[in-house]
């Protein structure tokens, strides 16, 4: 065995001993949706209210199986084919891509322009690196300490000076900005809804501080898009403010795949011309653009679905808290149950699966060491009785194990 193979094997074995080893679950589908372990859908048309209750998904509005949205994707395949086949700058993008960009500008609060990316990870890392490259010696980045890995990786890859501020602590952010106010370019980065905590930062306060120090504000709305605000528009809809840049994904509440960023025309023009993550990537397929566009249209036509999600989430948070479980500061559809020990969290996950409830134990490096948790992703399509029964089972096992 080569030295490289030995080192790789050693790291894998260490992860197993620490309870951090990961495997990809195998699933199969039929025409009614996910059929077998571990994602057996509780809404299976042939077997309603049986099977495994899926609380691991980010399909927060339950739109990935919506007939209208599926048909939009199918029609796009017939018209445009299965792939964009190249970078948008080489082959161009279709009218359906442009329609999606225009609609995203409206949906996210009235922005001037939009750019599409293959993934949320690529959008976050690429945008942060691109903006940092304008004047790297004169750029300083401040980001929330619990930011997503893609934000942190973008910051690290940028090569510029940076510092994190305490989670959801605008006062600490201001203190850091004040000490680094002489940098010509300052980026302030946070999330609209934190993916592992389920809490919402004080975006208006953060934006106010950023503007006072002439810093560019960037909000990752991956888990807020389609879920936060009265109309599901995300941070701008919820807080009635506009960050300089909002980044979001199409693969969660919008039932598609890919990502986007909205901003003013100048910044989008810069990202198109100098953003390597955009320039050197094949564009998202037209079918993905069509599905996301159809999902936005569905949300606009059925605003009650967002309220249903919010009501389900409020009930779940209250139930779990009253059961004596630590849900941190969650105020959204993402509800963590703090366990702490990695092995214990995985054991609870396995016990819940035996009880036909599928959710994931989230461990380091997704969360800090010794803060392992069960992560519930509530969705709008789950019926009240099923949700209540699942929560009862979760509370029982989380306290028992």
pLDDT in tens, 203-217: 999 999 999 999 999
- Position 6 scores a pLDDT of 85
- Position 2 scores a pLDDT of 87
Give tens-digit pLDDT for 103-150: 999 999 999 999 999 999 999 999 999 999 999 999 999 999 999 999
Residue % of the chain over a pLDDT of 70: 93
**All residues at 6 or more sequence positions from 235 whose CB lies less than 8 Å from its CB, including other chains:** 192, 203, 219, 221, 224, 228, 229, 241, 243, 246
The single residue listed with the structure tokens 């901003």 is 263
**All residues at 6 or more sequence positions from 355 whose CB lies less than 8 Å from its CB, including other chains:** 393, 397
Under the banding of pLDDT at 50, 70 and 90, the label for residue 72 is very high
Give tens-digit pLDDT for 250-272: 999 999 999 999 999 999 999 99
Say how far apart CA 207 and CA 198 lie, in whole Å: 20
- Position 8 scores a pLDDT of 80
Report the first-to-last Cα separation within the chain, whole angstroms. 41
Say how far apart CA 359 and CA 88 lie, in whole Å: 37
Under the banding of pLDDT at 50, 70 and 90, the label for residue 39 is very low
pLDDT over 70 at 49, yes or no = no
- Position 354 scores a pLDDT of 86
- Position 26 scores a pLDDT of 67
pLDDT over 90 at 16, yes or no = no
- Model confidence, pTM: 0.90
Under the banding of pLDDT at 50, 70 and 90, the label for residue 43 is very low
Average pLDDT, the chain: 92
pLDDT over 80 at 298, yes or no = yes
The single residue listed with the structure tokens 């214990």 is 344
- Position 48 scores a pLDDT of 40
> How many C-beta neighbours within 10 Å does residue 350 have?
11
Q: What are the percentages of helix, strand and coil residues in the chain, rounded to 5? A: 45, 15, 40
- Token pair, residue 191, equals 């999330």
Q: Which domains does the chain have, with CATH numbers?
A: 67-301 (3.40.640.10), 303-400 (3.90.1150.10)
Query: Please, what sign has the CA dihedral across residues 216, 221, 226, 227?
Result: negative
Residue % of the chain over a pLDDT of 90: 78
- Residue 233 · residue 246 · CB < 8 Å: no
Q: Quote the Cα angle for 145-146-148, to 5°.
A: 120
Average pLDDT, integer, range 363-383: 92
- Position 45 scores a pLDDT of 37
pLDDT over 70 at 172, yes or no = yes
Q: Which phi and psi (to 5°) does residue 194 adopt?
A: -80, 130
Average pLDDT, integer, range 396-401: 80
Say how far apart CA 17 and CA 55 lie, in whole Å: 27
pLDDT over 90 at 153, yes or no = yes
Say how far apart CA 16 and CA 25 lie, in whole Å: 17
Establish how many alpha carbons lie within 13 A of residue 352's alpha carbon, considering only the half-sphere containing its beta carbon: 32
**All residues at 6 or more sequence positions from 283 whose CB lies less than 8 Å from its CB, including other chains:** 84, 86, 87, 88, 91, 93, 97, 116, 118
Which runs of consecutive H residues, i.e. helices, occur in 187-336? 203-212, 235-239, 265-274, 276-279, 286-301, 304-322
Strands 29-30 and 259-263: unpaired
- Residue 146 · residue 167 · CB < 8 Å: yes
Say how far apart CA 359 and CA 56 lie, in whole Å: 4
Of the two residues 224 and 382, the one the predictor is more confident about is 224
- Position 34 scores a pLDDT of 46
Average pLDDT, integer, range 373-383: 94
């Amino acid at each position: 065995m080569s030295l490289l193979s030995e080192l790789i094997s050693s790291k894998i074995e260490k992860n197993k001993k620490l309870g951090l080893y990961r495997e990809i679950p195998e699933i199969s589908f039929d025409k009614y949706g996910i059929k077998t372990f571990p994602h057996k859908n509780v809404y299976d048309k042939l077997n309603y209210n049986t099977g495994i209750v899926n609380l691991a998904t980010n399909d927060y509005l339950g739109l990935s199986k919506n007939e209208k949205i599926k048909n939009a994707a199918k029609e796009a395949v017939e018209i445009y084919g299965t792939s964009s086949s190249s970078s948008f700058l080489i082959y161009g993008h279709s009218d359906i891509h442009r329609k999606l960009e225009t609609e995203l500008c409206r949906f996210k609060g009235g922005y001037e322009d939009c750019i599409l990316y293959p993934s949320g990870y690529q959008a976050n890392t690429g945008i942060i690196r691109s903006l940092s490259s304008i004047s790297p010696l004169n750029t300083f980045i401040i980001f929330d300490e619990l930011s997503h890995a893609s934000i942190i990786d973008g910051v690290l890859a940028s090569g510029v000076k940076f510092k994190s501020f305490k989670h959801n602590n605008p006062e600490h952010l201001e203190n850091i900005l004040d000490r680094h106010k002489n940098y010509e370019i300052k980026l302030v980065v946070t999330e609209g809804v934190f993916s592992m905590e389920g809490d919402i930062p004080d975006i208006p306060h953060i934006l106010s501080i950023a503007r006072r120090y002439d810093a560019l504000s960037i909000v990752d709305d991956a888990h807020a898009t389609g879920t936060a605000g009265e109309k599901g528009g995300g941070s701008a809809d919820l807080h009635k403010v506009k960050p300089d840049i909002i980044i979001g994904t199409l693969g969660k509440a919008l039932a598609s795949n890919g990502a986007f960023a909205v901003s003013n025309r100048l910044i989008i023009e810069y990202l198109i011309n100098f953003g390597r993550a955009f320039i050197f990537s094949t564009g998202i397929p037209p079918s993905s653009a069509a599905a996301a566009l159809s999902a936005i249209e569905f949300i606009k036509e059925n605003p009650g679905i967002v309220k249903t999600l919010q009501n389900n989430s409020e009930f779940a948070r209250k139930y779990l808290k009253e059961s004596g479980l630590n849900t941190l500061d969650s105020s959204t559809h993402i509800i963590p149950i703090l366990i702490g020990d990695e092995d214990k969290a995985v054991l609870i996950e396995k016990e819940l699966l035996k009880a036909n409830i599928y959710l994931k134990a989230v461990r380091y490096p997704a969360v800090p060491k010794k803060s392992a948790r069960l992560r519930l992703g509530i969705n709008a399509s789950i019926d009240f009785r099923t949700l209540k029964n699942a929560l009862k089972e979760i509370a029982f096992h989380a306290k028992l194990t």
